[in-house]
Every structure is written in C-alpha cells, then in structure tokens.
Amino acid sequence: MDSRYYPAKNVFIDSIEIDDYIALESSIVSYKQLQHSIEKPLKMILVFGRPGTGKSILLNYLYENFKYQKDIHYFATPTTNEKEFFHKIFKVITKKDLPSNTQVNFSTLVDYCRDIQGKREIIVLLDEAQMYSSEMMERIRLLADSRSIKFVIALHKTDKEEDIIAKEHFQSRIWEVIELKNGTIDDIQNYVHKKLLKKNLFEIANNIKSYHIGLIYKFTKGNYRETNKMLFTIFEIYEYYDLNDKNKIDINKFSKKIIEMSAIKLGFINV
C-alpha cells in the first residue's frame, strides 16, 4: 500500500502548469504589473529574477488567461538554433508554416511586421531568454521596434550576469522591468498550505505550523523551487519511515528533525 505521504511528496514536484498556480500576495502584485504592462505601448517587457522565483509560471498564467482574447504566444524552451526560432516567429506573424528547408529572410520579416503595424498586436512571451544569443536578442529587438510585436522576456538573474540589462538590446527606452523576488515567510506559509489543501491533504497541512515554516524558510530563503525541493525531501523521508519503521514518526506532529534531515540531504546544512 502507498504511504499517506506519497501524495504529499508529489505536491512539491516543480510544475508550471496553470492548475498548480497559487495566487500568492507577491504573485498577484507581479501579475497585475505584467498585465498592466502588456496594455501599455511598450516594445519589450523584462521579467527578471533569480531561478525559482516563479517567472515561468507567471508567463504561463498570463498566457492561459489571455490566449482566447489576445494574439499571444508562449515560447517555452528556447531553441538556440536561430533558424528554428525565426521559423516559429514567422508562423506567429504570418500564421503560415514555412517549409523546414527554407531560411526565413529577416528583412522580409521586419517588413511584414511593419505592414501589420496598427492592425494586429502580437505578444510573444519568451521564457528562458538568457539562452538566446546576443545576435538573436538584437534581432528580437529589431522586430520589437516594428511595434507590431511586443516581447515579454523572462531572464534569470545569476551572479555573473548582473549586467545583462545593461546590454545593448535592452538599451531602448521603451521597456519595463518586472522583478520577481523570493517569497516572504507569509508567502511560503500560504504556498505550502495551499498546495497541500488543493490536494485535500488537510491533516498534513494542519500539522505544519508557523514554527516549521520559519525553519524551512531559514534554509530556502523563500525561493519557491528550493521550497519545493525541501518539502519533497521531507515527505520522501516521512514516506520511508511510514513504510519501513512507523515507530520513528508521529503522524500528529510535524518533525523538526525530519526538516533538518532534509536540509542535510540537500546541502543546506553542512556537517
């Protein structure tokens, strides 16, 4: 028989599915900001933040909410292959497929964009944009200059790329930056509880008190991906004891020790 902790563990598998979206205080703020930005006559909008702060899920949520109302497109994993990328852009703009053996003529594409200016407003959501080359970004900027395509660019911030927004393609004045940050302790508390409650895991959710959240927060600093990893590992440990050595766990009380075991396993605590 499966352990009661098995479904709890699976709640914390990373997911950017819209059904798993939770309207947290900080996510609502970023979403409203983004929604407001796409209504403005901007050419580029930058969604910026460290890995695991919720950029992809935010872009997905926006896409799902507007896909029937707007000419909006989500590009998930970037193809670093320029040819393939412009084939995809070509399809979005012209609504036609180009035979795979042909090359998109970039200046024709720009002309096409100029032609549809004022007639259509296309929104392209580019996730993981740190993977695009500078040349591709430069071309994306040129397409954005035509004003018929608005790009929402999600970039992850790393220590060595702090200066990325200083790069040439982001120098144009008409862009806006939405910065996503790690969650606050309240966000994390809501996040953990709501995720479990969504799957009807009431007892488990009730056993996780503010004190436990405080401890988890100390290790993950409010990063959602790190929080997922930590909760997944906690319930994996619980599952193990539940199946193999039930006496070692108390189903009515969440264990500080198991939080710490998970932190050791994930390298948050060095022994």
Ligand X SMILES: Nc1ncnc2c1ncn2[C@@H]1O[C@H](COP(=O)(O)OP(=O)(O)OP(=O)(O)O)[C@@H](O)[C@H]1O
Question: Which residues bind to ligand X, rule: CB under 6 A?
Answer: 14-16, 20-22, 24, 27, 49, 51-57, 128, 156, 224-225, 228
DSSP state of 99: P
| Interface region with Mg ion, contact rule CB under 5 A, candidates 48-56, 115-123, 129-137, 194-202 | 48-56
Residue 140's nearest CA partner among 92, 99, 183, 194 is 92
Cβ proximity to ligand X, 90 vs 224, nearer residue:
224
Least gap, CB of 60 to Mg ion (angstroms): 9
Among ligand X, Mg ion, none, the one that 91 touches (CB under a kind-dependent 5 to 8 A) is: none
Q: 255: buried, middle or exposed (CB in 10 Å: 19+, 13-18, 0-12)?
A: middle
The residue nearest Mg ion at its CB is 56
Least gap, CB of 26 to ligand X (angstroms): 8
CA distance 60 to 30: 13
| Interface region with Mg ion, contact rule CB under 5 A, candidates 23-31, 52-60, 220-228, 255-263 | 52-60
In the chain, the DSSP E strands lie at: 44-49, 71-75, 122-126, 149-156, 175-180
Among Mg ion, ligand X, none, the one that 27 touches (CB under a kind-dependent 5 to 8 A) is: ligand X
Least gap, CB of 232 to Mg ion (angstroms): 18
Cβ proximity to Mg ion, 46 vs 208, nearer residue:
46
Tokens at residue 197, please?
């409650």
Q: What are the b/e assignments for 23-38, b being 16+ CB within 10 Å? A: ebebbeebbebbeebb
Cβ proximity to Mg ion, 131 vs 142, nearer residue:
131
Least gap, CB of 11 to ligand X (angstroms): 10
Among Mg ion, ligand X, none, the one that 141 touches (CB under a kind-dependent 5 to 8 A) is: none
Residue ranges in 61-80 that form contacts with Mg ion under rule CB under 5 A: none
> 3-class DSSP state for residue 227?
helix
Among ligand X, Mg ion, none, the one that 228 touches (CB under a kind-dependent 5 to 8 A) is: ligand X
Report if residue 56 touches Mg ion, rule: CB under 5 A. Answer: yes
Look up tokens 């296309």; give the residue: 122
> 3-class DSSP state for residue 173?
coil
Among ligand X, Mg ion, none, the one that 52 touches (CB under a kind-dependent 5 to 8 A) is: ligand X
Cβ proximity to Mg ion, 55 vs 150, nearer residue:
55
Least gap, CB of 230 to ligand X (angstroms): 12
Residues facing residue 178 across a β-bridge: 47
DSSP symbols for 18-37: GGG----HHHHHHHHHHHHH
Residue type, 144: A
Report if residue 228 touches Mg ion, rule: CB under 5 A. Answer: no
DSSP symbols for 33-68: HHHHHHHSS-SEEEEEE-TTSSHHHHHHHHHHHHTT
Residue 270's nearest CA partner among 219, 211, 217 is 219
| Residues at the interface with Mg ion (CB under 5 A) | 55-56
